[in-house]
A and B are shown apart, each in its own frame.
Chain A
Amino acid sequence: MTALLQVSGLSKRFGGFVALDGIDLEVQPGERLGLIGPNGSGKSTLVNCICGTLHNETGSVRFADEALDGLTAHQRTRRGLARSFQLPRPFASLSLAENVRIPILYSVNARAGGHLHGAAIDERCLELLGLFGLAGKARQMPRDLTQIEMRKLELARAMAAGPKLLISDEAMAGLSHAEVDEIIALLIRLNEQGVTVIMIEHIMRAVMEFSQRLAVLVAGKKIADGPPKDIVRDPEVVKAYLGE
């Protein structure tokens, strides 16, 4: 079975600083991958390069057996790649329903045979918000949301694009124990519906509960990749990230 996402030899520099150094990563369809590493190790940079927000100097990204190199971010989203932003970036002048409407209008409707119109779009917006418990606030503005609601909106908007692969970038930072559980449950439910998920997190409990496989990024290099139980015992990983 071909991997859904194939990253080969991906490198990214900022001036003299090497943010990513020859990253190889594969994600199988339907998989739940966890991506961990210390701050500044390049996790978000990797997401940005995969999704097209940044351009990698070397290496390639293949998605659903198609080379993504040279494609813009919106073209990649239309092909089924979606991400949430680490710091939520809602459309501040639009209501929640309108926030999730944008990806429907521009990703779902841009695909062959995916067209939703009129009332169907409204229904889909409410459905998406409902998945995340936000249906009641459909007409409210992002500034009226709590932290966790903003994170959920981020994920809802990413899901609205109808992705095959969803990258969740530190959606749980600073949330309470119960809130973290909520998000984990949500992501697992999405995965059960057929969405491949990459979870980037610092909260080890969440990562261990969620991931079927774990990859570790340290200083721009991938130092480990395998089953979670093995990774957390890997001496290099422990030294670089988990601590003695």
Chain B
Amino acid sequence: MASLADKTAVAAVPGLRALPFTLALIAIAAAIFALGRWYNNSYAFFMGYVVVQYIVLGTAWNILGGYTGYVNFGVTAFFALGAYSTVVLHKLIPAMPLPVMILIGGTLAGLVGLGTGYLTLRLRGVFFSIATLALAVVVQTLIINWDFVGGARGAYVLRPRVAPLIGGDYVQYLFLLMLGMCVIVLATARAIERSALGYGFAAIRDDEAAAEASGVPTLRLKLIATTLSGGFMGMAGAPLPFYVTYLDPASGFSLNYAVNAIAMPLIGGTGSWLGPVIGAVLVGGLQEYLRVTISSAVNVLVAGVLMVAFVILAPQGIIGLFQKRKR
């Protein structure tokens, strides 16, 4: 008999417990990477990095947004914190390996998430959202005025020629690290979904006062969500300086990251770990296609337009559309 805990909602692979699921993810990631190495096309790695980065960003956002119901508009603050912490660390300790910088960047962003949450999560959800907008601008202003990281002029980061450990183009190494983060984030998201924590998040999202009355420690759970979400976003941003080699506030804090991080889960479906994946692949792919066929200005518009359309017409996302068909 199927347990009552099976979320009748979504999960495309319902029966798998956490460990088999994670192993499956690792296997898929390894296969993708091996395929890329065999095909050996630099462009594919650059593209792949972007899509996987958005899976991580979107999933991170969704833990707080889709699961818990608190909308974070300040994605750029956490993402850029990760990127700029790499710039600082690289300047101070050039020999520091990138994975370590990713962990530090993620921790820093997570702490900022904790702090912001502590200041604002006792208020209504909309105030939290407005505060996240504020946070993004504050962090951006701080960075612009900080000469050590290049201020408004930006900073150059030299990308090593050869990838450590695996050899080959450095971009392949970046892609591999991003894949690794993707596995971690997706496994975490799915584990949350099926756990008591996930139920707590859902209760907060559906009716916070009723959740409190049922014994859910809402503030504590919200802080966990904000910290996890912010931390993962920081991790996603940490390799960026090596990817772009020139990082300036205008592009590091680009609104595109925020819009994509929100649009992709909304379009894919916010109720499940699979939604951000679908959203990232479809929207990311569409954006790239439009960029090469029409122009790079129009592709940016796509995420915004699709997001508004889906939010109005298909609030449950693509996954929701499939579910409706099933019934």
Number of chain B residues whose Cβ lies closer than 8 Å to a Cβ of chain A: 25
| B196 contacts across to A, CB distance below 8 A | 105-106, 109
Residue A92 lies at the interface, judged by CB distance under 8 Å to chain B: yes
Which chain B residue shows the least CB distance to A122?
B4
Number of chain A residues whose Cβ lies closer than 8 Å to a Cβ of chain B: 41
Residue B213 lies at the interface, judged by CB distance under 8 Å to chain A: yes
Given A94-B202, A102-B200, A122-B4; A78-B215 close (CB under 8 Å): yes
Q: Is the CB of B8 within 8 A of A139?
A: yes
Residue B9 lies at the interface, judged by CB distance under 8 Å to chain A: yes
Q: Which of A52, A78, A101, A138 has the most CB of B within 10 A?
A: A101
Given A94-B206, A95-B8, A105-B200; A122-B215 close (CB under 8 Å): no
Q: Is the CB of B202 within 8 A of A85?
A: no
Report Cα–Cα, A157/B5, bound state, in Å: 16
Q: Is the CB of A74 within 8 A of B216?
A: yes
Report Cα–Cα, A139/B6, bound state, in Å: 10
A-contact bits for B179-220, CB 8 A (1 contact / 0 none): 000000000000000001001101101110111111111110
Shortest A171–chain B CB gap in Å is 15
Q: Is the CB of B202 within 8 A of A91?
A: yes
Q: Is the CB of B215 within 8 A of A106?
A: yes
Q: Is the CB of B199 within 8 A of A101?
A: yes
| A118 contacts across to B, CB distance below 8 A | 3
| B210 contacts across to A, CB distance below 8 A | 85, 89-91, 157
Shortest B293–chain A CB gap in Å is 39
Q: Is the CB of A73 within 8 A of B213?
A: yes
Interface residue from B4, B207, B212, B271 paired with A125 (Cβ < 8 Å)? B4
Given A91-B203, A122-B4; A110-B215 close (CB under 8 Å): yes
Report Cα–Cα, A47/B207, bound state, in Å: 18
B-contact bits for A112-133, CB 8 A (1 contact / 0 none): 0000001101100110000000
List which A145-167 residues lie within 8 A (CB) of chain B.
157-158, 160-161
Shortest A122–chain B CB gap in Å is 5
List which B201-243 residues lie within 8 A (CB) of chain A.
202-203, 205-207, 209-219
Report Cα–Cα, A72/B209, bound state, in Å: 11
Shortest B234–chain A CB gap in Å is 29
Shortest A135–chain B CB gap in Å is 11
| B5 contacts across to A, CB distance below 8 A | 98, 101, 121-122
Shortest A144–chain B CB gap in Å is 12
Q: Is the CB of B8 within 8 A of A74?
A: no
Residue A82 lies at the interface, judged by CB distance under 8 Å to chain B: yes
Q: Is the CB of B4 within 8 A of A101?
A: yes
| A102 contacts across to B, CB distance below 8 A | 199-200, 203, 211, 214-216
Which chain A residue shows the least CB distance to B271?
A93
Report Cα–Cα, A90/B214, bound state, in Å: 11
Q: Is the CB of B209 within 8 A of A89?
A: yes
| A218 contacts across to B, CB distance below 8 A | none
Residue A32 lies at the interface, judged by CB distance under 8 Å to chain B: no
Given A93-B9, A94-B202, A98-B199; A106-B217 close (CB under 8 Å): yes
| A105 contacts across to B, CB distance below 8 A | 196, 199-200
Report Cα–Cα, A157/B211, bound state, in Å: 11
Interface residue from B205, B207, B215, B271 paired with A107 (Cβ < 8 Å)? B215
Q: Is the CB of B214 within 8 A of A77?
A: yes
Report Cα–Cα, A125/B6, bound state, in Å: 14
| B215 contacts across to A, CB distance below 8 A | 74, 77-78, 102-103, 106-107, 110, 161
Interface residue from A95, A97, A106, A125 paired with B214 (Cβ < 8 Å)? A106
Given A74-B212, A101-B199; A138-B207 close (CB under 8 Å): no
Enumerate 22 A-B pairs (CB-CB under 8 Å) in ascending A order: A53-B212, A74-B212, A74-B213, A74-B216, A75-B217, A77-B212, A77-B214, A89-B209, A90-B206, A93-B9, A94-B202, A94-B203, A98-B199, A102-B199, A103-B215, A105-B199, A106-B200, A106-B215, A106-B216, A106-B217, A109-B196, A161-B215
Q: Which residues of A contact B (CB under 8 A)?
A: 51-53, 72-75, 77-78, 82-83, 85, 89-95, 97-98, 101-103, 105-107, 109-110, 118-119, 121-122, 125-126, 138-139, 157-158, 160-161
